[in-house]
Structures are given as structure tokens and as C-alpha cells.
Structure 1
Amino acid sequence: MELIGMLDSPYVRRAAISLRLLGIPFEHRSMSVFRHFDEFQRINPLVKAPTLVLDDGCMLTESGLIIDWAQTKSDRPALMPTDAAHRQRALRLTGIALAASEKSVQLVYEDKRTPDKRDEGWIARVQGQLHAAYDLLERELHGVNGWLFGASPTQADVSIAVAWGFTQLVVADVIDAKAYPHLAAFSQRAEQHPDFAALPPV
């Protein structure tokens, strides 16, 4: 089984860490949808990262769907809380973290445009959405000294830490880590977990 994509993508890294947490063995093939487009296309015509190629040749895309599939194959505890109230909160926090990842990606792509093609109004709007996402998460992490829902990481923990790491990698000039001390501390702790440390974003 192969997981294809670059770990500097929050979606690829989120899927990879989740597979490890669930005890699903896989090989990681680092491949860029830009630099290796033709090679990637021969594997998956959609050229979509992450792509998980199963042992039977079936291909799964989209990190959430890959994680959902992996959960059905794992005998380890689920990455989402079973308590209804905790599950709802975990879903909400995961959604905010994914929004932060999405907005960070949008800023990266916008920065690739030549200056005369950039839409400053759009950039300001996306930056505002990114700040809003991290403002919400910073408040949620106030007083959190471990994982969000117990002794082990859930999908909310993974998604938040991965999103934060990605944002700091690509748009640290937009999101100042000093303004988000709870997020920074939480993510630093998460990155020390073996399944995070084994899959660094660079």
C-alpha cells in the first residue's frame, strides 16, 4: 500500500499521521503534483494528493475519505471520540483546522501570481478568514496541557497541529506565532509524538 504526495501538504500529512496512529502499514512516496505531474498522472489520472493506492490497486483520494477507510481496517481506538458531545466538538474543531489549511493553501497559490494579477481584496479576505480560524482554535486550546479528549490524539488533535505547522511553514508572515501561544505550545507538544515526528512536513 502506498500513500502518494508531499508531506508539506497538510492533507497528505494529516492522512499519513492518521494511518500511523491507526496502525495501518503503508509506504510513503513523496511526489509533487507540480514537479512530478506526468509521473503522478500515470498513477492517478486526477493528479490528486493524497492518493492512497491499496494492495488491490484501488485508489482513494481526499484525506478525510482515506482516514475513514483506514478506520474501518484498524483494530485500534477510533480517532474520533465516541461520546456524542465530545464527537461533536471534535468534528467542529477538525472543520476549523481544515478551513485554516485551506486558507493557507489559497494564500500560497495567490502568492504565485505575478503582482499585476493578484487581487488584494481577495487576499485580505482570505487572510481575515485564516485569522478567524486560528482565533477560534486559540480560545479552544486555552488551558489544554495534553490531548483534547484524553490520553491519545484524536483527529481534531491531528488536524489542528498539522494545520498550524503548515501555516507556519508557508505563511508565518501572516500568522504570527507569538499571537497564538496556546496553539504554538499545543502543536509543539504534538510534534514530539512519535507518529508526528516520523512524518515531518519538510
Structure 2
Amino acid sequence: MQLIGMLDSPYVRRVAVSLHVLGQPFAHQPLSVFSTFGQFQQINPVVKAPTLIADDGTVLMDSTLILQWIEAQAPGSRLTPADAAQHLHDLRLTGLALAACEKAVQTVYEHRLRPAEKQHAPWLDRVGGQLDAAFAALEAELARVPLAAVQEALTHGGIATAVAWSFTHLLLPGRVDAAAHPCLEAFTKAAEQLPAFRACPQT
């Protein structure tokens, strides 16, 4: 299978890390939806990252749908907790982390793609508040139920959480106070040292 997209995208990196954890071999094409738009468009006319090309040529997109399919192809290895209560908790972590990614991406796009005189302050304030709320909720969840930064214990929620925190600090340095989120900071620092994360550097 082939994974298309840049690892500085949290959604692409989420899939890449998950593939490594699940032991699924893949080829990576680091195409940008900006600088290599035309080349990306030839593979997927929608030009959405991540894009995954299955072995039969089927083109998939959206990180959650891609991971749903990948996990079904990985017998004996899962990122979804088997216990119903743990699964529910993991879905909450995943949803919060993906919300944080979305709001961070929206902030980056507003600052980088829109001229300064056309940036909409109320929109940035609203998105910033949503970003803060997502990370505050994640911090509370990790304080209540700590995540183990062990590759064999990683779940969809754990991977998405670490990827979201790292992405936000890379693209929006200083925007979210690490000292105010000690559980998130400690878990992500430890997760970034695991083989699956080190194999997929975001820079």
C-alpha cells in the first residue's frame, strides 16, 4: 500500500505512526497539497491528505476511515481497545485530539494563507477557544486515566493525542502553554521516543 502526504500533516502522521505500530508495510510519497498540488491531483483528484492507495489500487482518504480499513487488515494487532468502557474512553481521546488538530490547522491556514489585513479576528478567537478547550479536556482525561507511552500499549486515542500536541507546538509555538498541560507534555515527550514515532518525524 502507499501513503500519500506530508508528515507535517497531523492526519498523515497519525496514519503513518499507526501503520508502524500495526506492523503494516507501506511506501510513503511525501507529496504536498500545496507545492505539489498537480502531482497529488493525478493520484487523487480530491487532493486530500492523507490519501492511501490499497494494493488493489483503491484510493482511500480521511485518516479515520483509512485506519478503520488498515486495522481490519492487521489480524492479531489492534489499536482499538477490546473492552467496551476502554473503547469509549479511547474514542473520546481520539475525538478531542482530532478537534485540536482541526483547530490548529484552521489557525495556521488563517495566518499563512490569508493576508494579514483580511484575517478575521473573531474567527481566530473562536477557533483559539476551541483549541484551548480540546487540550484542556485532553489534559483532564490523561490526569484521570494516564496513558502508557509504550508502543505495545498505544491506541488510536494515544497516537492521535501525541500527534496533535506535537503538531500544535511545531506549527504554533507558544500558543498552548506546556506547563499548564503536564500530562500531555510528559506523555507526548515519551511517545515521541518510541520507534513508531521516530520512524515518522514531522520535520
1:43 alignment counterpart: 43
1:59 alignment counterpart: 59
Q: Is the 8 A contact 2:7 2:200 kept in 1?
A: yes
1:15 alignment counterpart: 15
2:31 alignment counterpart: 31
The one-letter code sitting in structure 1 at the alignment partner of 2:40 is F
Q: Is the 8 A contact 2:149 2:190 kept in 1?
A: no
Task: State the distance in 1 between where 2:128 and 2:190 align.
Answer: 26
**TM-superposed deviation, 1:40:** 0.6
**TM-superposed deviation, 1:147:** 4.3
Task: State the distance in 2 between where 1:186 and 1:32 align.
Answer: 29
Structure 1 runs (4+) greater than 4 angstroms displaced: none
**TM-superposed deviation, 1:87:** 0.5
Q: Unaligned stretches of 5+ in structure 1?
A: none
Task: State the distance in 1 between where 2:50 and 2:199 align.
Answer: 17
C-alpha deviations, 1:65-102, integer Å up to 9, x for none?
11011111102332111111111010011000000000
1:164 alignment counterpart: 165
1:136 alignment counterpart: 137
Corresponding residue SS for 2:80: coil
Q: Is the 8 A contact 1:23 1:76 kept in 2?
A: no
**What is the number of equivalent residue pairs in this alignment?**
201
1:93 alignment counterpart: 93
Task: State the distance in 2 between where 1:2 and 1:189 align.
Answer: 28
Task: State the distance in 2 between where 1:161 and 1:21 align.
Answer: 14
Q: Is the 8 A contact 1:12 1:63 kept in 2?
A: yes
TM-score by length of 1: 0.95
Q: Is the 8 A contact 2:3 2:29 kept in 1?
A: yes
Corresponding residue SS for 2:56: coil
The one-letter code sitting in structure 2 at the alignment partner of 1:2 is Q
C-alpha deviations, 1:151-201, integer Å up to 9, x for none?
510011000000000000111232122221111110011111101110011
The one-letter code sitting in structure 1 at the alignment partner of 2:133 is A
2:155 alignment counterpart: 154
**TM-superposed deviation, 1:145:** 6.2
* Alpha-carbon spacing, 1:43–1:192, altered in 2? closer, same or farther (3 Å): same
User: Aligned residues: percent identity?
Assistant: 50
**TM-superposed deviation, 1:19:** 1.2
Q: Is the 8 A contact 1:93 1:156 kept in 2?
A: yes
The one-letter code sitting in structure 1 at the alignment partner of 2:27 is E
The one-letter code sitting in structure 2 at the alignment partner of 1:188 is K
Q: Is the 8 A contact 1:142 1:182 kept in 2?
A: yes
1:75 alignment counterpart: 75
Q: Which range is displaced more, 121-130 or 167-176?
A: 167-176
Q: Unaligned stretches of 5+ in structure 2?
A: none
1:178 alignment counterpart: 179
**TM-superposed deviation, 1:146:** 2.0
Task: State the distance in 2 between where 1:119 and 1:59 align.
Answer: 36
